[in-house]
Structure 1
Amino acid sequence: MKMILAIAMAMISSCAFAQDDLLKELDQVQDSVITYSAATFKGTRIINGHSVETVGKNNMDFIISHRFGAVNSGANNFFGLDESQIRLALEYGLTDRLMVGIGRSSYQKTIDVFAKYRLLRQSSGYRNMPVSVTLFASDANNSSTSTTELPFYTIAQRQTYTFQALIARKFNEKLSLQLTPTVMHRNLAENQIDANNLYALGMGGRYKLTKRTSFNVEYWYTPKTFAGTTQRDPRFTNTLSLGFDIETGGHVFQLHLTNSRGMIEKQFIGQTTGKWSSGDIFYGFNVSRTFSFDKSKKSKTSGY
Structure 2
Amino acid sequence: MKKILLIILLIFINNSIFSQDDLLDILEDETPESTTDNIVTSTFKGTRILNGHSIENRKDSELEFIISHRFGAINLGFDELFGLDQSNIRFALEYGVTDNLTAGFGRSSFEKTYDSFLKYSWVKQRKGQKSFPVAISLFGSIAVKTIKDYDPADKRSFAESLSYVGQVLVARKFNESFSFQITPTYIHRNTVKIGADPHDIFAVGFGGRLKLSKRVSLNSEYYYAFDESESINARNSLAFGVDIETGGHIFQLILSNAITMIEKSFIAENTGNFFGGDIHFGFNISRTF
Alpha-carbon spacing, 1:60–1:78, altered in 2? closer, same or farther (3 Å): same
Whole-Å Cα distance in 2 between the matches of residues 46 and 249 of structure 1?
19
Render the CA deviation track for 1:88-119: whole Å, top value 9, x for unaligned.
00000011001100000000100000001110
Whole-Å Cα distance in 2 between the matches of residues 27 and 237 of structure 1?
58
What is the match of residue 252 of structure 1?
A: 250
Q: Is the 8 A contact 1:31 1:126 kept in 2?
A: no
Q: In structure 1, what residue type is equivalent to 2:121? A: R
Within 5 Å, give how 1:86-235 maps onto structure 2: 86-147=89-150, 153-224=156-227, 231-233=228-230, 235=233
SS at 1:207 equivalent: strand
Alpha-carbon spacing, 1:129–1:28, altered in 2? closer, same or farther (3 Å): farther
Structure 2 unaligned residues grouped into runs of 5+ = 1-14
What is the match of residue 275 of structure 1?
A: 273
Structure 1 unaligned residues grouped into runs of 5+ = 1-10, 225-230, 292-304
Deviation at 1:24, TM superposition (A): 5.6
Within 5 Å, give how 1:33-44 maps onto structure 2: 33=35, 34-44=37-47
What is the match of residue 62 of structure 1?
A: 65
Tell which has more relative contact order, 1 or 2 (C-alpha 8 A, sep 6+).
1
Deviation at 1:174, TM superposition (A): 0.6
Q: In structure 2, what residue type is equivalent to 1:166? A: L
Instruction: Answer yes or no: is 1:72 the counterpart of 2:75.
Output: yes
Whole-Å Cα distance in 1 between the matches of residues 16 and 58 of structure 2?
55
Whole-Å Cα distance in 2 between the matches of residues 32 and 39 of structure 1?
18
Whole-Å Cα distance in 1 between the matches of residues 120 and 150 of structure 2?
36
Q: In structure 2, what residue type is equivalent to 1:26? A: E
Instruction: Answer yes or no: is 1:83 the counterpart of 2:83.
Output: no
Percent identity, aligned pairs only, is 47
Whole-Å Cα distance in 2 between the matches of residues 12 and 210 of structure 1?
51
SS at 2:233 equivalent: coil
Instruction: Answer yes or no: is 1:26 the counterpart of 2:23.
Output: no
Alpha-carbon spacing, 1:192–1:29, altered in 2? closer, same or farther (3 Å): farther
RMSD, aligned α-carbons = 2.1
Whole-Å Cα distance in 2 between the matches of residues 53 and 161 of structure 1?
21
Q: Is the 8 A contact 1:32 1:125 kept in 2?
A: no
Render the CA deviation track for 1:177-226: whole Å, top value 9, x for unaligned.
000001111111233222111100000000001110000000000024xx
Render the CA deviation track for 1:268-301: whole Å, top value 9, x for unaligned.
010000001221111110010001xxxxxxxxxx
Larger displacement relative to structure 2 (255-264 or 25-34): 25-34
Q: In structure 1, what residue type is equivalent to 2:185? A: T
Alpha-carbon spacing, 1:22–1:89, altered in 2? closer, same or farther (3 Å): same
What is the match of residue 8 of structure 2?
A: none
Whole-Å Cα distance in 2 between the matches of residues 21 and 111 of structure 1?
63
Render the CA deviation track for 1:138-187: whole Å, top value 9, x for unaligned.
00101111115xx7611111111100011100011110000000111111
SS at 1:269 equivalent: helix
Deviation at 1:59, TM superposition (A): 0.6
SS at 2:180 equivalent: strand
Whole-Å Cα distance in 1 between the matches of residues 31 and 240 of structure 2?
44
